[in-house]
């Protein structure tokens, strides 16, 4: 995307690529050897010397948190410690609903710019418009704040008021609006009908994703008669991932049978398999399906793309995906936050790991960059991350590709190509796929 945008408050922020599996507090660790305790004694000695002799008195809490994060960062880019506030933010993000105003925002010219107010939310009802600039929040200047700082200030308990000072084109003076926070439910699936094609874009895998997908499918079925509907496009581009169980449920919606994904931990015997529920027909009645991916498709979105590709249920179109094939377990630490720890790698039905490799599309379609972005590196990939776990199938080319989707559908060559395939205006040996040629792990 051209600019970072956030749904406040509590949206999935940025391009974090992670699958989440909630876990209970971990089991007892293996007993440490005497050498380990010697090293811990050295750490304790250094900690005390820093506290006693550093030029300015350091904050003990920050020292400990940074030491913990330093240890976890040395493992891989996706393991980390979350303090109580960060853990709560993560829970809000994955839940898919939060107390806020209901606007999508970005930072522009040191002010918070409203991209769009969400329909039927406090912001929309109060008169906030797309293109408005928020100059003050409860009387405090926005200039000098980061976007995250501004979003944090706009968060708050339901039924509490917040005063926004807005600059609007055409208005001769700032506009003061008071907005009362309410529960905002973020739609994880955006959809529309493109004449005779159903288009569904999954933006993230939260607790509401599967339900939103089912609603999208049923609405499309009502809008287009079955004999007129050519098929569906499932857009997973710029999708950073989310909950593993939701990825499994979304995959299951398009399948009648078969393994969706397996996870494998440190112990070779620690293998968990997730299978589709056997049924007579899938949720789209066997209609043709095309999945769109690019360098912004990571983690849970790659699970879906990999399952539908290996089982030959869908044709994958676009460019190489991000390549994040690891699973993080969230281990609660009570009032002290939570530990996000990489505990397993996941594998597609064919038994392949996408870690550091990604999903290779059946049909590669490049999306040209607009003139204002040409010359900039928008490539995103797990293999480029420092300290990433090297995947079993990772090659010298690595993973990832450009993470860019045009804001206007008329400029979206990957979407246009998918729709042309569904309508028979283009042909390719990879479409439609043959389920009888599914690639499975033997």
Q: What is the CATH number of the domain that holds 432?
A: 3.90.226.10
Say if 58 falls within a structural domain: no
- In this structure, are residues 93 and 10 in contact, taking their beta carbons and an 8 Å threshold? yes
Q: Looking at the domain assignment, is residue 358 inside a domain?
A: yes
- Same domain for 163 and 301, yes or no, is no
Residue 168, both tokens: 């609007």
Q: Are residues 176 and 194 in the same domain?
A: no
Q: Residue 160 sits in which domain range?
A: 100-184
Are 169 and 200 members of one domain? no
Q: What's the CA gap between 185 and 166, in Å, rounded?
A: 24
Answer yes or no: is 90 within a domain: no
Domain final position from 184, 211, 237: 184
How far apart, in whole angstroms, are the C-alpha atoms of residue 360 and residue 326?
A: 17
Q: Is residue 70 part of a domain?
A: no
CB 177 within 8 A of CB 126: yes
Q: Are residues 178 and 323 in the same domain?
A: no
Provide the CB-side half-sphere exposure for 319 (13 A, CA).
Answer: 24
Beta carbons within 10 angstroms of residue 311's beta carbon: 26
In terms of domains, do 200 and 252 share one?
yes
Distance (Å, rounded) from C-alpha 156 to C-alpha 92?
12
Along the chain (442 residues), what's the average pLDDT of each consecutive run of 10 residues?
34 36 47 82 95 95 93 94 86 80 86 86 91 94 88 86 93 94 88 97 93 98 97 96 94 96 92 95 97 96 97 98 94 89 95 96 96 84 94 92 92 98 97 92 66
- Total number of domains in the chain: 2
Please list the active-site residues: 299, 310, 324
CB 18 within 8 A of CB 327: no
What pLDDT shows up at residue 10? 30
pTM of the model: 0.83
- C-beta of residue 88 within 8 angstroms of C-beta of residue 95: no
Domain annotation covers residue 48 = no
Same domain for 403 and 343: yes
> Is 43 within the bounds of a domain?
no
> At which residue do the structure tokens 């581009």 appear?
237
Tell me the HSE value of 217 on the side-chain side, using a 13 A CA sphere: 20
Q: Which helix (H) or strand (E) holds 303?
A: helix 300-310
Whole-number Å distance between alpha carbons of 399 and 379: 9
- For residue 213, give the nearest of 244, 245, 191 by alpha carbon: 191
pLDDT at 442: 57
Same domain, 207 and 111: no
> Are both 259 and 305 inside the same structural domain?
yes
Domain co-membership, 107 together with 251 = no
């Amino acid at each position: 995307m051209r600019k970072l945008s956030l749904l406040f408050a509590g949206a999935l922020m940025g391009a974090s690529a992670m699958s989440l599996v909630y876990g209970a507090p971990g089991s007892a660790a293996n007993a440490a050897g005497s050498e380990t305790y010697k090293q811990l004694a050295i750490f304790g000695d250094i900690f005390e010397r820093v506290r006693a002799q550093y030029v300015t008195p350091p904050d003990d809490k920050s020292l400990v948190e940074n030491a913990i994060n330093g240890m976890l960062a040395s493992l891989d880019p996706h393991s980390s410690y979350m303090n109580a506030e960060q853990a709560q933010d993560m829970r809000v993000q994955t839940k898919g609903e939060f107390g806020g105003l209901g606007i999508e925002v970005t930072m522009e010219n040191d002010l918070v710019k409203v991209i769009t107010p969400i329909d039927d939310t406090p912001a929309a009802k109060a008169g906030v418009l797309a293109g408005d600039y928020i100059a003050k929040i409860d009387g405090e200047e926005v200039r000098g704040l980061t976007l995250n700082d501004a979003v944090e200030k706009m968060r708050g308990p339901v039924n509490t008021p917040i005063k926004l000072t807005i600059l609007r084109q055409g208005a001769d003076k700032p506009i003061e609006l008071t907005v009362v926070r309410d529960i905002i439910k973020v739609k994880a699936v955006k959809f529309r009908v493109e004449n005779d094609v159903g288009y569904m874009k999954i933006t993230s895998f939260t607790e509401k994703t599967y339900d939103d997908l089912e609603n999208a499918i049923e609405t499309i079925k009502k809008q287009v008669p079955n004999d007129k509907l050519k098929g569906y496009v499932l857009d997973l581009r710029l999708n950073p991932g989310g909950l593993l169980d939701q990825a499994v449920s979304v995959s299951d919606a398009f399948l009648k049978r078969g393994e969706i994904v397996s996870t494998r931990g440190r112990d070779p015997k620690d293998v968990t398999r997730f299978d589709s529920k056997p049924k007579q027909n899938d949720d789209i009645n066997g209609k043709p399906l095309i999945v769109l991916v690019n360098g912004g498709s990571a983690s849970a979105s790659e699970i879906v793309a990999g399952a539908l590709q290996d089982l030959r249920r869908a044709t994958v179109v676009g460019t190489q995906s991000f390549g994040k094939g690891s699973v993080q377990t969230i281990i609660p630490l009570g009032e002290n936050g939570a530990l996000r720890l990489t505990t397993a790698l996941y594998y597609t039905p064919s038994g392949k790991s996408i870690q550091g490799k990604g999903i290779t599309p059946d049909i590669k379609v490049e999306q040209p960059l607009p003139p204002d972005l040409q010359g900039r590196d928008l490539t995103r990939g797990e293999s480029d991350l420092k300290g990433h776990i090297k995947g079993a199938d990772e090659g010298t080319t690595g993973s990832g590709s450009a993470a860019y989707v045009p804001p206007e559908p008329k400029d979206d060559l990957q979407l246009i190509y998918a729709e042309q395939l569904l309508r028979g205006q283009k042909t390719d040996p990879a479409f439609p796929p043959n389920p009888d040629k599914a690639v499975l792990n033997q």
